[in-house]
Amino acid sequence: MGGHHKKNLRAEKAKVKLKGAKLPKGLNVTKTDFKVRKIEIREQLKESSYSATGQRQLNLKETLSRLKHHSVKFRTDALRNVRDSLKSGNADHLIGHLNELFQGIAAGALDMERSARQESFKTLDVLLEALQPHAVAPFFHVIATYLRCAMTHVLPAIQEDSLLMLDVLLQRVPPALLAERSASTIIGNFIDMISRARHDSERSNRTLTLNLGQGKQTTVKWRTKVLLRLQQILGTLVGSKSSKTAVARVVHFDAMRPQYYNVLCPVRQDNRELYAILNESKLSADGARLQTYVEQLLPLLQDNWLEVRPQPQQPLLSQDAASSLHVVISLMSLLWTLIAQHESENSTRDLSDWLRKNYAQKFLLNFLAKDGSRFPYQQIPLAAKKSSKEKGPADGGELCLPQNLGIVQLTCKFFPNPNEKQAQLFNHVVAYMQRSLERLSSLPPEQQLSVVASLRPLLLEYATSLQSIVAEPLTNLLSASIDAYVGQRFTTREGVATRVLSLLCEIVERSDLYARFGGEQRFAPFLSYLPQLLLKPTVGEGTLRAMATLCRQLNGVFMSALIQVAPEVVCHLVNLQVTSDSEGEDKFENQKRVLNLFYYARESDKEGKLERALKQVEEKADHDAISAYLKAVMGFN
């Protein structure tokens, strides 16, 4: 040890010592008189900045790379950075990077951390709001792919949160784009979320599954949550089809029934499939897919209802049961609407006939009972201390009005030609509608719209067949509807009163229904009130058409009422607007349609009302055309 120490000392002494003269005083001070040039990297200045808290904001390339980072904190920070940038109005510089951006944001739906998934959905919401639909369309398949992966994920938490991602798409993506690109696949995934394939010999090919296992919600609530989104998807499909331009009516020759053709009918293209032209029973691709939806959904919907349906000794519904019934009835109604749209486009009734044959009796037994004794439904009154926030998503209130009105419409669709055995059932249905009209003034506009929608199949669409079994109750229902309309108990908000007027006018236009319901005697209050509509600022095309029909039928009640207000109508004609679907109609042509009514009604003029009206308009300078035409109408033989 001692020898080693001495060896180190000798090595230290052997080192070269750098000795020099000391610097003069004052020369060891740092010089500050040199010139410098500022270095600027413009791309970094453009894409990188600092937040108000002094924290550096990531540029676009860093953000895109951090969206794929293994750290949850890095991923969530990147998502927040994208969201903040979009909110500040910097969406234009993202256009060239939308593919990577959608890939990174949508991948968050599969993140194992719940916080990252929620940040992903928030950022996706802001991004879709900032972009135009045509900018989203090329990349929508990316979002849809991750949504389907989340809906079929093995982890229940990711499956549950996939509904939040779907909520964003339903709110921000145009319905046509969502329906066209992935609605059919998403519907299949919805079915998988609440059921599984059955591998036995039973007729139904799927069975309901239990809760996902979160422990936070019951099985019924989970299924209701899934079915509510499915209802929105089907509503999107219905809306996308109904928004298409309506094609003109094409009359197909049928040797077995009378044919009615327009005098001027341009040649229109027949877009039917070959099987429809040849009257062969075959479904198109859309029809087959729609039939698959029905085959899978209807048994599941009915099984879901049977699990929560109350026992006979306790007829009132629980809150969960009322919510479940609401969404089940809504889904069944949407399926019927899709079938009606498909059959209207393809001039066929195969699907509706198939649906009635296979599911009508099951619907009757599960929702009404054969004699209708289970109908209508009511909910157990909620405790007064419960707030509205604690109510179900769509329980319909204590009277379950939306559910019961939906059942009324479905009953008419499933049984369009009822027999004597079903008279008691339809007596229950009509009596319920009568009670609904009695409480009409206490209903909000959206529920009044449902009442009108349920009156239409009873009083118009299937009234001819119903008259044979429930004639008197149905006629009383019509009288109550007329009294409610004339008494102005239908609100004018949301177009409720207009729809009632349209319904009554359509009944009047059908001479067979008009006669079955009692003709002038039954419709007298409505016919006397009808001319008053010509004194309002606007009148509907259908209303004017119904008035012309009544005049051609020489309806004495209507023409007498029309003559009584003739002077006021003629003077108001300059300000009257006729609302119709066709655009660009000549205003004077519509005025002539009103004046033509007096050609038929002049025979009822015993007091010279038309002469007085003519003198009044001749005195006004801006009524020359009206006075000349009215004079010609009165003198025409």
**Per residue in 349-358, pLDDT tens?**
888 999 999 9
CA atoms within 13 A on the CB side of 92: 1
pLDDT score of 205 more than 70: no
pLDDT digits (tens, 9 = 90+) for 317-337: 888 888 889 999 999 999 999
pLDDT score of 137 more than 70: yes
Other CB atoms within 10 A of residue 446 CB: 11
Residues 479 and 564 in one domain: no
Q: Before 133, cis peptide (omega within 30)?
A: no
Top-confidence residue, 209 or 185: 185
Residues 546 and 458 in one domain: no
pLDDT for the residue 504: 92
Residues 440 and 557 in one domain: no
Among 173, 201, 227, where does a domain finish?
173
pLDDT score of 571 more than 90: no
Could you tell me if residue 156 is inside a domain?
A: yes
pLDDT score of 119 more than 70: yes
Residues 292 and 363 in one domain: yes
Among 517, 542, 562, where does a domain finish?
517
Top-confidence residue, 105 or 218: 105
pLDDT score of 116 more than 80: yes
pLDDT score of 302 more than 80: yes
Residues 227 and 365 in one domain: yes
Alpha helices in 445-488 (DSSP H): 445-456, 463-466, 471-486
Give the span between the Cα atoms of 523 and 305, in whole angstroms: 41
Give the span between the Cα atoms of 594 and 507, in whole angstroms: 21
Could you tell me if residue 213 is inside a domain?
A: no
Least confident of 77-86, 214-223, 265-274, 582-591: 265-274
Residues 504 and 534 in one domain: no
Residues 225 and 344 in one domain: yes
Give the span between the Cα atoms of 79 and 120, in whole angstroms: 7
Top-confidence residue, 294 or 285: 294
In Å, how far from its chain's centre is CA 161?
23
Task: Say which residue the tokens 């005098």 belong to.
Answer: 263
Residues 421 and 508 in one domain: yes
pLDDT band at 138 (very low <50, low <70, confident <90, very high): confident
Residues 223 and 361 in one domain: yes
Stretch 284-290: mean pLDDT = 74
Pair 448, 491: CB distance under 8 Å: yes
CA nearest 401: which of 443, 458, 453, 456?
443
Could you tell me if residue 601 is inside a domain?
A: yes
- According to the per-residue pLDDT averaged within each range, which of 148-162, 227-241, 247-261 is highest? 148-162
Top-confidence residue, 118 or 620: 118
pLDDT score of 5 more than 90: no
pLDDT score of 248 more than 50: no
Residues 373 and 299 in one domain: yes
Could you tell me if residue 194 is inside a domain?
A: no
Query: What CATH code is carried by the domain that includes residue 115?
Result: 1.25.10.10
**pTM: predicted TM-score of the whole model, two decimal places:** 0.75
Pair 93, 60: CB distance under 8 Å: yes
pLDDT band at 242 (very low <50, low <70, confident <90, very high): low
Buried b (16+ CB within 10 A) or exposed e, 533-542: bbeeeebbbb
Tokens of 86: 């979009």
Pair 57, 81: CB distance under 8 Å: yes
Structurally, the chain folds into a number of domains equal to 4
Give the span between the Cα atoms of 335 and 354, in whole angstroms: 13
pLDDT for the residue 41: 59
pLDDT score of 309 more than 70: yes
pLDDT for the residue 96: 78
pLDDT for the residue 472: 93
Top-confidence residue, 237 or 476: 476
pLDDT cut 90: percent of the chain above it: 23
Pair 282, 275: CB distance under 8 Å: yes
**Which range marks the domain in which residue 289 is found?**
218-238+282-379+394-412
Give the span between the Cα atoms of 502 and 517, in whole angstroms: 17
Helices 445-456 and 423-438, axial angle in degrees (round to 10): 150
pLDDT score of 412 more than 90: yes
pLDDT score of 40 more than 50: yes
As a dihedral over the C-alpha atoms of residue 191, residue 193, residue 198, residue 199, rounded to 10 degrees, the angle is 120
pLDDT digits (tens, 9 = 90+) for 502-537: 899 899 888 889 999 988 889 999 999 999 999 988
Stretch 617-633: mean pLDDT = 81
pLDDT for the residue 268: 57
pLDDT for the residue 414: 94
Residues 224 and 352 in one domain: yes
Tokens of 88: 């500040």
pLDDT for the residue 140: 87
Beta bridge partners of 579: 540
Could you tell me if residue 331 is inside a domain?
A: yes
Stretch 279-292: mean pLDDT = 68
Buried b (16+ CB within 10 A) or exposed e, 475-487: bebbbbbbebbbe
Stretch 24-44: mean pLDDT = 66
Among 173, 192, 210, where does a domain finish?
173
Residues 222 and 355 in one domain: yes
pLDDT band at 635 (very low <50, low <70, confident <90, very high): confident
Top-confidence residue, 217 or 66: 66
Could you tell me if residue 523 is inside a domain?
A: no
Give the span between the Cα atoms of 349 and 164, in whole angstroms: 38
According to DSSP, residue 368 is labeled I
pLDDT band at 215 (very low <50, low <70, confident <90, very high): very low
pLDDT for the residue 38: 72
Least confident of 204-208, 213-217, 418-422: 213-217
Task: Say which residue the tokens 């609100």 belong to.
Answer: 491
Average pLDDT, whole number, for the chain?
Answer: 80
pLDDT digits (tens, 9 = 90+) for 372-403: 788 889 888 875 434 444 444 456 688 899 99
Could you tell me if residue 32 is inside a domain?
A: no
pLDDT band at 244 (very low <50, low <70, confident <90, very high): low
